[in-house]
């Protein structure tokens, strides 16, 4: 992965955050293997919420050093809100933890969306990217229809519907963003897959049997999405004083 301008704080924080995500994933995997199928995998020890939130907190620290000011202003709150969502979803004894975590992640997706929109505003995406965005929208409608009866029963119709719409907008915008790598686009898709599995686990299976793959997909989402912003970019303006020019959509190579 080419890193022409990423400062040491960015690259170092990103790498350490990745290892933090792996560490929590290994812990969760071992816990799942040693527990009865479907048992709650959060709330096992007092330090689990900060352990779970550590990856996003370290990515927030990495974003402090991101040279592109406009993106930094949105990435930092997006990642901090993600950490808050991780923390909230790791305290199942609080009855409002799911709704509060949902709200934190919805705000995080809005911040990611704000960072991505200028990169997608004048994009000319290739047909495969358009096809992916269409598939994401269709999948969203199918999932929402599948969850709908259960959402009504749990009085979660409005918050979950709004969340799904915001997430879908972020994922589709990431497919169109003019960035020199595919990492942000792939990371956004991982976010969609992870959140879809959360919905299936909560509203269909009613257990934690998907908790381990959910974490690995979520960790990949955060790491890849930030990699798309942090690495492979061309510095086109004063790093700390102004915005950089948007990198053009990668040109198609002729065979």
| 3-21 pLDDT, tens digit each | 445 678 898 999 999 999 9
- Which pLDDT does position 209 carry in this prediction? 86
Question: In Å, what is the CA distance from 32 to each residue of 45, 97, 203, 213?
Answer: 15, 21, 20, 11
42-94 per-position pLDDT tens digit: 888 889 999 999 999 999 999 999 999 999 999 999 999 999 999 999 998 88
CB-facing half-sphere around the CA of 224: CA atoms within 13 A: 19
Confidence of residue 132 (pLDDT cuts 50, 70, 90): very high
Q: List, for residues 218-242, the tens digit of each pLDDT value.
A: 999 999 999 999 998 865 333 433 3
Comparing C-alpha atoms, which of 13, 27, 11, 12 is closest to residue 215? 27
- Please indicate, yes or no, if residue 143 is contained in any of the structural domains: yes
Q: Which whole-number Å values give the CA distances from 92 to 5, 45, 187, in the listed order? A: 41, 12, 27
Provide the domain limits for residue 29.
8-230
Nearest residue to 126 via CA among 166, 160, 177, 169: 177
Is a pLDDT exceeding 70 seen at residue 249?
no
Task: Tell me what pLDDT residue 208 has.
Answer: 86
Distance linking the first and last C-alpha atoms of the chain? 23
> Contact, 123 vs 176, CB < 8 A?
yes
pLDDT at 14: 95
Position 2 pLDDT exceeds 70: no
Residue 205 clears pLDDT 90, i.e. is over it = no
How far is Cα 13 from Cα 17, in angstroms, rounded to an integer? Answer: 6
Residue 241 resides in a domain: no
Whether 244 is in a domain gets the answer no
pLDDT band for position 200 (50/70/90)? very high
Q: Is residue 3 part of a domain?
A: no
Residue 253 placed within a domain: no
Position 250 in a domain: no
Higher pLDDT, 19 or 123: 19
- Rounded to an integer, what distance in angstroms lies between the CA atom of residue 243 and that of residue 220? 27
Calculate what percentage of the chain has a pLDDT beyond 90.
72
What is the number of domains present in the chain? 1
The answer to whether residue 252 sits within a structural domain is no
Distance (Å, whole) CA 59 – CA 36: 33
Say how far apart CA 12 and CA 107 lie, in whole Å.
26
Provide mean pLDDT across the span 201-230: 94
In a domain, 202, yes or no: yes
């Amino acid at each position: 992965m080419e890193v022409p301008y990423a400062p040491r704080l960015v690259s170092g924080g990103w790498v350490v955050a990745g290892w933090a995500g792996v560490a929590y994933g290994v812990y969760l995997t071992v816990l799942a293997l040693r527990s009865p199928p479907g048992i709650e995998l959060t709330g096992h020890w007092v330090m689990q919420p900060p352990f779970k939130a550590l990856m996003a907190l370290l990515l927030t620290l990495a974003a402090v050093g991101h040279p592109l000011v406009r993106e930094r202003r949105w990435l930092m709150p997006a990642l901090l809100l993600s950490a808050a969502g991780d923390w909230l979803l790791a305290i199942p004894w609080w009855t409002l933890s799911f709704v509060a975590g949902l709200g934190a992640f919805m705000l995080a997706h809005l911040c990611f969306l704000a960072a991505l929109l200028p990169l997608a505003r004048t994009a000319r995406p290739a047909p495969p990217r358009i096809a992916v965005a269409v598939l994401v929208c269709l999948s969203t409608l199918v999932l929402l229809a599948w969850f709908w009866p259960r959402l009504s029963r749990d009085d979660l119709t409005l918050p979950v519907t709004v969340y799904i719409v915001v997430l879908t907008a972020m994922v589709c915008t990431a497919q169109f963003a003019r960035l020199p790598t595919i990492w942000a686009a792939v990371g956004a898709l991982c976010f969609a897959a992870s959140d879809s599995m959360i919905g299936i686990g909560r509203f269909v299976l009613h257990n934690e049997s998907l908790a381990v793959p959910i974490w690995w997909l979520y960790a990949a989402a955060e790491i890849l999405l930030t990699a798309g912003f942090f690495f492979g970019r061309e510095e086109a303006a004063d790093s700390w004083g102004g915005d950089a020019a948007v990198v053009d959509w990668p040109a198609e190579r002729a065979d």
